[in-house]
Structure 1
Amino acid sequence: MIGLVLAAGAGRRLRPYTDTLPKALVPVGPEGDEESITVLDLTLGNFAEVGLTEVAIVVGYRKEAVYARKEALEAKYGLKLTLIDNDKAEEWNNAYSLWCARDVLGRGVILANGDTVHPVSVEKTLLAARGQGQKIILALDTVKSLADEEMKVVVDAEKGVQKITKLMEPAEATGEYIGVTLIEAEAGEELADALKTTFERDPDLYYEDGYQELVNRGFKIDVAPIGDVQWVEIDNHDDLAKGRGIACQY
């Protein structure tokens, strides 16, 4: 099993940082320290801590900034990094971005969005949940109060995920998908096919819509509740301020 990070996004709501950097490289350390730790740093550190030795990173917008840091990141975290180019990062949504990594899905991955600040306990929770025939396990926050923007999930105790979408009344949801998934090797081919169906239907769809496509086909997707932990998806400057407060705890 290897790590996989989706780091192709532009993050236009985080300008001026993202004038020159992809969202995954926006600094989340002390404000004013532009050379500080990034979301990508935190994720790579988590992967290394749980024993992964290889990580694939899907890059697109401002990918040259990731290429420039590749060797330093490998040395810092003791990981072998492979960069995968997304040629449509500024045109299409992330269902296509994850599909670009279809060749590594067949190795089994822990997938992390490049904009999610979270503790290593999330990866540990996913790894501890393996072993009962699960093929895909989503990290789920069942504690947070939900609103319109969250990626909400409805879970059946026996059948697993039934619905995953932002377009849902918060009261209907079991919890929020936080952007971290364990994908076993045997699920790779089916997931890649579902992602292809998804972005061919509409290139603006999310990879979570690919998960819904799998569910609609009768594929069981499981969840692992992460407990009461601090995390944030960084979409804008308010999120970035929260991310800085959380990052300093880890």
Structure 2
Amino acid sequence: MHDVIGLVLAAGAGRRLRPYTDELPKALIPVDGDTTILDIALANLAASDLREVAVVVGYKSNAVEERREALERRHGVRLTLVHNDKAEVWNNAYSLWTAREVMSEGALLVNGDTVHPVSVEQTLLQYRQQEGSEDIVLALDTAKVLAEEEMKVVTDERGHMRRITKLMDPSEASGEYIGATLIEGAAVPALAEALQATFERDPQLYYEDGYQELVNRGGTVGTAPIAAGTSWVEVDDHRDLERARTIACRY
């Protein structure tokens, strides 16, 4: 079994978080003193012994480049920056596709706007030890009460993903995808093709729509429930940022 790398999607502009994102990408917003969302992601990956990390950058990428050496020293990781040239005009199906070569041996993907504890990474990596584990595994919160904005997932009786979309009745969902995926190298070619088909159909689609495309083509995507009561948040707006700041200091 190959060692996977860490992969952080950090290309987004985060327009709902202005003025913080006037000069910084969303991933560099501080959530605990000078600790940023990206710091938490890198710390979690390093604590999981994933020290080769690729970061997809786009909007205000120079801010990440300027901090690159400091981030490597602080977290004991080696960073490869992947440039998304369409970060400000296309959605993140394209963003993940741009990382297809760096993750050819597999990756543990985390969104660069999500604050969660290292137990999420550990849950996904433990899944690799199970016999017959799928090549793509999504971390799911199956305890949270869901509403309209969440990325909702429906699974079958084996825990395989059948549907993933924000656009479903929350009562139908098995849980919420929390922005962390284990992707084995064997799955990358088919995933890259599904992602390309997705953004070519509509550049505004999410990489999760690429997962749906893969399943529609006959691929299998597994799920791993995180521990009930795990404190995490996807930081989309100022209200989310306040929640991130209340929970980040506990990690």
- TM-score between both structures, scaled by the size of structure 2: 0.96
Structure 2 residue ranges without an equivalent (≥5): none
**In the alignment, what sits opposite 2:235?**
234
**In the alignment, what sits opposite 2:155?**
155
Give the one of 11, 29, 36 matched to 1:26: 29
**How far apart in 1 are the matches of 2:20 and 2:51?**
30
Within-5 A mapping of 1:69-148: 69-130=67-128, 131=130, 132-148=132-148
Give the one of 4, 10, 15 matched to 2:7: 4
Task: Check the 8 A contact 2:6/2:53 in 1, yes or no.
Answer: yes
Task: Check the 8 A contact 2:55/2:80 in 1, yes or no.
Answer: yes
Task: Check the 8 A contact 2:127/2:133 in 1, yes or no.
Answer: no
**How far apart in 1 are the matches of 2:88 and 2:170?**
30
Q: CA deviation at 1:227?
A: 1.7
Q: CA deviation at 1:159?
A: 6.4
**In the alignment, what sits opposite 1:194?**
194
Once superposed, what is the RMSD of the aligned Cα atoms? 0.8
- Which aligned runs of 4 or more in structure 1 are off by greater than 4 angstroms? none
Compare 18-27 and 155-164 and name the one that shifted more.
155-164
**How far apart in 2 are the matches of 1:96 and 1:233?**
20
Structure 1 residue ranges without an equivalent (≥5): 31-35
**In the alignment, what sits opposite 1:220?**
220
- Describe the SS at the equivalent of 2:101: helix
Q: CA deviation at 1:53?
A: 1.5
Q: CA deviation at 1:46?
A: 0.3
* Counterpart residue identity of residue 175, structure 2: G
- TM-score between both structures, scaled by the size of structure 1: 0.97
**How far apart in 2 are the matches of 1:180 and 1:200?**
24
Q: CA deviation at 1:105?
A: 2.3
- For the pair 1:14 / 2:12, whether they are aligned, the reply is no
